[in-house]
Amino acid sequence: METRTALVTGAAQGLGHEFAVALAGHGYRVAGLDLVPQPETAGKVLDYLELTADVTDETQVRQALERVIDRFGTLHILVNNAGVYPSAAFEETTPDEWRRVMRVNLEAPFLVTQAVLPHLRAAGWGRIVNITSAAVLTAPPTMVPYVTSKMGLIGFTRALASALGPCDITVNAIAPSMVRTATAERTVGADGGFEHVRAQQAVPRTQLPSDLVSTLLYVIDEGSGFLTGQTLNVSGGSAYL
C-alpha cells in the first residue's frame, strides 16, 4: 500500500503536536502547519515538513499546500486541529473577538479543506478529520463564540461527508473534553476549569492529548471507509451525543 501523507494544522504544540508525532510513528509522512515555528514537533518526526502559515489566510494556505505536494507528491489525510478558545462573559465579547474565533475555528477548516481537496481527489482516497469539542453539549456560559464555532464545524463535517462520499473521501469529527495543553493551562487552568470539567466526567482525571490518538488512528484507518459524517465524542463521559 502506498505510504499515506497527512497534514496537521496547529502542529506546534498540544493536540496537533501529539497527532503529528503519532502519525509519523505509525508510518505516515507528516506535514505540520502552524502560525509559529514547530521545533518540538520537528525534533520528534523524521522527514517532517514544517509549514509556517496563517490558516485564516487563503494565499498562505495554498502556498503551504504547494510545498507539501512538492515534497511528498500527494496528500491523503487532513486533520483540521488549529483553534482558539477564549473565555469571557458573553456581554464582554467584542465583535472583533467573535469574528476572530469564527475565522480560526470555522473559516480556516473551510479554507484548508478546499485547498486540500483537489489533492485528495487526485489520490483517489482521503480522510478529513475535524477537531471539534464536547463543549457543544456541555455549553460553558463563558465560551459562547467557541461553542458556536465548534457546533458549526460539526455541521460542516456532516454536510461535507455527504458531498465527498462518492469520492472515497470520509469526513469525521472528534470531540474531546478539556485537554490539558499549554494553551488550556493559560486560558482556563487558573480559573479551575480543569477541576470543573473533571467533576462532570465519568472518568475522574483530566484528559491528555495522548487520549485522542487511538480515535484519530481509527478514523483515518484504511478499514474505516464506511465511517463518515460522524462526531466521535471522546470526553470521559462528560457529554453524550
Q: Among all residues, which ones are annotated catalytic?
A: 146
* Whether 29 contacts 51, CB under 8 Å: no
* Cα–Cα distances in angstroms (integers) from residue 124 to residues 51, 140, 159, in the given order: 25, 40, 20
Among residues 235, 230, 229, 240, which one has the least CA distance to residue 203? 235
Among residues 12, 4, 228, which one has the least CA distance to residue 130? 228
* Cα–Cα distances in angstroms (integers) from residue 104 to residues 74, 100, 231, in the given order: 25, 6, 20
* Whether 130 contacts 232, CB under 8 Å: no
Concatenated DSSP letters of 126-193? EEEEEE--THHHH--TT-HHHHHHHHHHHHHHHHHHHHHGGGTEEEEEEEE--B--HHHHHHTGGGTH
